[in-house]
Amino acid sequence: MRNAHKADIAREALAWIEEGMTIALDASSTCWYLARQLPDIPIQVFTNSHPICQELGKRERIALISSGGQLERKYGCYVNPSLISQLKSLDIDLFIFSCEGIDGGGDLWDSNAINADFKSILLRRASQSLLLIDKSKFNRSGEARIGHLDDVTHIVSDAPQS
């Protein structure tokens, strides 16, 4: 059931993506659902996700840039120590990501430091950010802090609006 929610959230996020943009996608399953639904339009996509690279590699009009590095099979993502220098040449219009949880104080958490570091860097570097999160992630924390909800410019969620 949760996968259906993630696919719906990802579908809603498509409205934020416009031709000509440079977007970054994290290695979350929600972003993978987004990649599966992403039309073949002229955009540039930067990601550390192996499954997203495999999916978007099928699209001819999408310029795909992988962070490269060592593949962490457990998380399906690449770890690249030179990520910060690699990002200096990219102007990211929109960073789309998910997280393990948001605690009561608004801190964003991930399940591991590898993914949290990638997300934290892109959250600070991108012009705008879009957090894709299902209601099960609220009032939860994780192992590694990404940032704060105040750092996020837009949210797509299935949680009731307060």
The CATH number of residue 104's host domain is 3.40.50.1360
Tell me what percent of the residues of the chain surpass a pLDDT of 70.
97
- For residue 95, being part of any structural domain is answered with yes
- For residue 131, being part of any structural domain is answered with yes
DSSP strand pairing (63-66 vs 44-47):
parallel
pLDDT of residue 54: 97
pLDDT of residue 1: 44
- For residue 119, being part of any structural domain is answered with yes
- For residue 150, being part of any structural domain is answered with yes
Report the residue count for the chain. 162
Token pair 């994780």: residue: 142
Residue 161 confidence (pLDDT) above 70: no
- Domain limits at 113? 2-157
Q: Please state, in angstroms and rounded to a whole number, the distance separating the CA atoms of residues 159 and 136.
A: 8
CA distances to 53, 69, 87, 96, 121 from 82, in Å? 19, 9, 9, 21, 12
90 vs 31, residue with greater confidence:
31
- For residue 162, being part of any structural domain is answered with no
Q: Please state, in angstroms and rounded to a whole number, the distance separating the CA atoms of residues 125 and 43.
A: 18
Number of domains in the chain: 1
Average pLDDT over residues 111-127: 93
Edge to edge, the sheet with strand 101-102 lists 101-102, 107-110, 144-148
| Sequence-separated contacts (24+) of 148-151 with Cβ below 8 Å | 148/106, 148/107, 148/108, 149/102, 149/106, 149/107, 149/108, 150/106, 151/108, 151/123, 151/124
Q: How confident is the model at residue 86 (pLDDT cuts 50, 70, 90)?
A: confident
85 vs 118, residue with greater confidence:
118
Average pLDDT over residues 107-124: 93
Of 13-22, 37-46, 80-89, 116-125, minimum mean pLDDT range: 80-89
CA distances to 36, 67, 140, 147, 154 from 100, in Å? 21, 21, 7, 12, 17
- For residue 111, being part of any structural domain is answered with yes
- For residue 36, being part of any structural domain is answered with yes
Q: Please state, in angstroms and rounded to a whole number, the distance separating the CA atoms of residues 58 and 93.
A: 23
- For residue 76, being part of any structural domain is answered with yes
* Residues whose CB falls within 8 Å of the CB of residue 161, separated by 6 or more in sequence, listed in order: none
Q: For residue 101, how many other CB atoms are within 10 A of its CB?
A: 17
